[in-house]
A and B are shown apart, each in its own frame.
Chain A
Amino acid sequence: MTTSITYDDKSVRRFMIASIAWGIIGMLAGVFIATQLSFWQMNGKFLETLTGGWIKGDGISFLTFGRLRPLHTNAVIFAFVGNMMFAGIYYSTQRLCKARMASDLLSNIHFYAWQLIIVAAAITLPAGLTRGKEYAELIWPINICVVLVWVVFAVNFFWTLAKRNEPSLYVALWFYIATIITVAMLYIVNHLSLPTSFTHSYPIFGGLQDGLVQWWYGHNAVAFFLTTPILGIMYYFLPKAANRPVYSYRLSIVHFWSLVFIYIWAGPHHLLNTALPHWLQYLGMLFSLMLWAPSWGGMLNGLLTLRGAWDKLRTDPVIKFLAAGVTFYGMATFEGPLMAITKVNALSHYTDWTVGHVHSGALGWNGMMAAGMFYWLAPRLWKTQLWSKPLANMHFWIATIGILIYIAALWCAGIMQGLMLSEIMPSGTTLRYEFLDTLKEIQVFFIARAFGGFLYLCGFVMLAVNIWKTARSGVAVEETVEVTLLEKKQKDSMGFGAAILNDPIAHVILAMGFVLLWFFLPHHADKAALLVAILLGFKAVSAFKASNGAWTNWHERILENYLPFTVLVFAAVAIGGSVQIIPTIIVNRGKNIEGRLQELYTPLELAGRDIFISEGCYNCHSQMIRTLVPEVMRYGRPGVADDWSHLGESIYDHPYQWGSKRTGPDLAHEGGPIAKKPDGTLYSSMRVGKRGNDWHFYHFLDPRDKSPGSNMPSYWFLFEKETDVKALPGKIKAQVALGVPYPVMTDADITDRVETQAQDIAKSLVEAGAYFPKKPQLQGDALRNHLVKSQGVALIAYVQKLGAYKNVKKAQPAEPSSLNPDSHR
C-alpha cells in the first residue's frame, strides 16, 4: 500500500537561514575579539574615536574580551553549527525514514525556542551573566530552556523514527541518535547548579570534580555536538552529492561504534600535567590516541566515497566544500590525539596552538561541511539553480586560504610562546623570558590570525548572498513523494530484551561481565558471580544450538529496532563517562587535598570571585600551575617548596577556574598571607600577595600602566560599580549547601566582615596615594568611601587571596601489612 507524503522542508529552510545569519554574527564576534588581542583599544576605547568623544571610556564592560569571547564560542557552536545540524537532520531524517517529521508543532517549537535561547545568550553573556565554565556559560534559566527544547527535538526525532516507512536505520541516523542521547546526558550533568538568584548559580561540583565534569562535557561537546551530527550529515549528503553510495558500509559500522565508545573517555586530556590523578591522565591520553583509528576510518570512508567522482572537484563547489570539510576532519582529528600526548601537551596546552586546533575543526570541518550542505540544499529547497557557481568557488578559495592563514599563525604563536615560556637560562635557576615578552613576540601572528578569520567571514558573507539570491530566484516548495507503507511487524517489532537475550554472543558478553564481578565482589558474592557466569556459558551454548549454529544476528536486528539501538548507544557512552566521573565523585574530598587545604574565601573575596567570573577573566587567566618545572619556577611563590597547584587548593571552588588558555599569566598563587599593619599587628582579613593593592588598583584602571605591552582591557568601570553585598548571605548559604564549610554567620556578620575588609583595602589604596582619574575631585576619605563599595576593591580582595591554603598532614606511607585482601574492605 502506498501513500503520498509531503516533507517538512519549511523547517529545513528556517534552520538553514538561521544558521547562516547566526554564523555571520558569531564569526564577526570572532574577528572582533581577535582584534582585541592585538589592539586593546578594541575593548571600548575605539568608540571614543568613532563617536567623536560622545562615548568615553578605555574599556566598556559589555565589549571586553572576557565577555565577548563566550558570546563568540556559544554563537558558533550552538547557533551556527546547532542550526546547521538541525537543518541537516530534519532534511535527511525525513528522507531516510520516508516520513514527514512527526509533529509540525514540535518542529515549530524547536525552531523558535532555539532562536530565543540564542537571543537570550546574546543578551546575557555581554551583560556578564555567566556560570563561568567554558561552553557552559549560560545561566540556569536558559539551561532549563535548552534541556526542554532538546527534549522537544528528541521527541520529534524519535517519533519520526517510530513512524518511518523504511525498516532499516541508515548509518546517518545512528549518528543522530548518538548526538541526541549523549548531548542530553552531558548537558544535564555539567549544568547541575544551585541557584542563588534568577541570574546566578553555583555548579554543584567543585574543584577537581568540577574540572573533570567540565572537560567530560567540554570535550564531548566537540565530539557529540560538533562531530557526530556532522558525520551523519557527511554519510547522507556526500553520497547524494557524489551520486554514489558510501565507500564501505562495513567501515561505517566500525567507525560509528568505535567513535561513540571511545570519544567519551578522552575528556581528561584537557587536564594533563596538572595534579589530576595519574590514572585519569593516562586514561585520557590512551583513549585520545585510540581515537586516531576511527576518526581516520571515517575520513577515509568519506573521501573514498568520491572514488570515480574526483573530476567533480574541479567543477562542483558542493563536492569541493564537502571534500575539504572531510579532509579538515582528518587533519583536526590527527592533531587532537597528538596534542593529548602528555609531553606534547606540556608545550601546547594553555597556548594558541589549542585555539588553532579548535578552529581547524570549527572552520575547516564544521564550516566547510555547512557550506557544502547549504549549497546542495538551496537549489532543492527553492527548486531552482544555484545563483552563482563562480561566487561559490570564490567562497571556497577565500575560506580555504583564510583557514590556512589562521591555523598556521596560531601554530606559530602557540609553539613559539610555549617554547619561550619554558626556556630556562643556562644557569638553570631563572627563566629567560617574562610573560609579557612572549606576548609581544606573537603579536604578528595575532594580526595574521585576525586577517585569516576576516577572510573566512568574507567567504561566508558570499555564501549568504548566494543563498539569498538563489532563494529569490526560486520558490519555496515542500517535496512530495510516494512511499510504500510498512506493515507494523516490518519494523520495531522487538524489544531490547528480545534483541539481546536470545543471542549466543550476548550471553558470552554477559558471562564475561560476571567474571569481572567475580574479581571485585566481596566474599560469597564473588562465588555467586562465578556461578552465574558458568550458567550463562551453558545458556550461550543452548542459544547457539537453538539458532541453528548462528553465533549472532543481534546487530542486524537492532538496526531495525530503534529503541534497543538507542539503549545500546546510551550504554556505550555511559560506560566511559562513569569510569571517569564516578570514582572521583565518590572518593572522599579529604583524600584529594594532597597536604594543602584551601582557605575559605571571606564574604568580600567571594563577591570578588563572582566578579572575576562575571567579567570572564578565566578566558585569559588560568588558576592551575601544572607539575612542570618551568611553571613552578614562573608562578610558584618564593620559599614555598613544590609550589604547583595542589588539588586541595581549589577544592571549594564552585566553579573551578583552572582555565584553558593563557593570554595573561596564571593567577593560582597570586595571593599572599594576611598583611601586617604598620604597628606590626595583623589585619583581620586583608591580604597582600606578590603585588600590593595599589599595583592591582592601577593595573585594573590601565593595565599598560603597570605592564607595558599588555593587551588586557581596562577595568576602570569596576571602581564605578558597587558590590552586591545584599546577595552574599544567599550565596554563602548556597556554598554551605554545596559542602563548603563556612561557619555560621548572620546577615549582619557578613555585612560587617565585608565592610571591615573593604575599608582596610580602600584605606591602603588611599594611603598609597591612589588617584582615580574618572573622579579626580575625590581624595582622602571621600575617595576611600567611594572605593570601599566598589567591585574593584572586592576583586582586589579576591586576587590577593588566590592560592591561600593551610597545611594538612599528609597520609603516611603504608606500613607493611599482612596479605589478607579482606583487610582492604
Chain B
Amino acid sequence: MSDFKRVMFEDWSLWIPMVSFGIFFMVFILISVRAVLINKTETDRLASLPLEESSPETPNPRQS
C-alpha cells in the first residue's frame, strides 16, 4: 500500500487531469443511467410543460 501511495504522491499534480476525468466520467455514467431509466410517462409530462396553456388567451382590450 505504501508504494502505491508513494506513486500517488509523487508528481501528484500530473494526476489531477486524470482524476478529474475519472470523477467526470463517474458523474456522466450515473446521470446517463438515470436519464435512460427514468419513467417515460414522467419524461413526456415534463417535456410538455412549456406547451401547457393554462387558460384561454387574454383578449386584446383594444379589439374587445
- Interface residues of chain A, those whose CB is within 8 Å of chain B, are 92, 95-96, 98, 166, 168, 170-172, 235-236, 239-240, 243-246, 249-251, 253-254, 257-258, 261-262, 265, 277-279, 282-283, 286-287, 290, 383-384, 474-475, 477-483, 505, 509, 512, 519-520, 552, 555-556, 559, 572, 575-576, 579, 583, 819-821, 824
Contact = CB atoms under 8 A, between A and B. Distances in A.
Contacts of B43: 249-250
B51 A240 contact: yes
B61 to A, nearest CB: 5
Contacts of B39: 556
Contacts of B17: 279, 282-283, 286
A250 B50 contact: no
B49 A170 contact: yes
Interface string B7-42: 011100110110011011011101110111011001
A171 B46 contact: yes
B5 A254 contact: no
Given A383-B59, A821-B9, A552 B34 contact: yes
Given A475-B61, A477-B61, A579-B16, A819 B34 contact: no
B24 to A, nearest CB: 6
B47 A279 contact: no
Contacts of B9: 821, 824
Contacts of B2: 819-821
3 nearest interchain CB pairs?
Answer: A481-B54, A383-B60, A245-B47
B23 A575 contact: yes
B53 to A, nearest CB: 8
A112 B44 CA distance: 39
B26 to A, nearest CB: 7
A565 to B, nearest CB: 13
Nearest to A513: B23
Contact of B55 (A251, A477, A480): A480
26 contacts: A168-B46, A170-B50, A239-B47, A243-B51, A245-B44, A245-B50, A246-B47, A249-B47, A253-B38, A257-B31, A258-B28, A258-B31, A265-B24, A278-B14, A279-B16, A283-B16, A283-B17, A383-B60, A383-B61, A475-B61, A480-B55, A505-B30, A555-B34, A579-B16, A583-B16, A819-B2
Given A474-B62, A556-B42, A283 B20 contact: yes
Given A245-B48, A261-B27, A579-B20, A251 B35 contact: yes
A239 B48 CA distance: 9
Interface of B: 2-3, 5-6, 8-10, 13-14, 16-17, 20-21, 23-24, 26-28, 30-32, 34-36, 38-39, 42-51, 54-55, 57-63
Contacts of A283: 16-17, 20
Given A245-B48, A261-B27, A482-B55, A519 B34 contact: no
B51 A239 contact: yes
B55 to A, nearest CB: 4
Contacts of A235: 50
Contacts of A575: 23
B35 A512 contact: no
Interface centre among B21, B45, B58 (most CB of A within 10 A): B58
A279 B12 CA distance: 9
Given A258-B31, A552-B34, A265 B13 contact: no
A469 B27 CA distance: 49
A479 B58 contact: yes
Interface centre among B39, B46, B48 (most CB of A within 10 A): B46
A483 B54 contact: yes
A461 to B, nearest CB: 27
A96 B20 contact: no
Contacts of A261: 24, 27-28
A279 B35 CA distance: 32
B12 to A, nearest CB: 9
Contacts of A251: 35
Contact of A239 (B23, B27, B42, B50): B50
B50 A254 contact: no
A240 B50 contact: yes
A278 B11 CA distance: 11
Contacts of B6: 819, 821
B51 to A, nearest CB: 6
A334 B62 CA distance: 48
Contacts of A384: 60
Contacts of A290: 21, 24
A250 B27 contact: no
A63 to B, nearest CB: 45
A321 B47 CA distance: 22
A469 B49 CA distance: 31
A287 B55 contact: no
Contacts of B51: 239-240, 243-245
Contacts of A478: 58
Given A384-B60, A579-B16, A250 B38 contact: yes
A265 B23 CA distance: 12
A98 B54 contact: yes
B60 A249 contact: no
Contacts of A92: 50
Nearest to A474: B60
A252 B38 CA distance: 12
A474 B61 CA distance: 9
A478 B59 CA distance: 10
A482 B50 CA distance: 16
Nearest to B16: A279
A20 to B, nearest CB: 22
Given A98-B54, A383-B59, 16 more contacts: A170-B50, A239-B50, A245-B47, A249-B44, A249-B47, A253-B34, A257-B28, A265-B20, A474-B60, A478-B58, A480-B58, A481-B54, A482-B55, A509-B30, A519-B5, A821-B2
A481 B14 CA distance: 57
Given A253-B38, A519-B8, A821-B2, A279 B54 contact: no
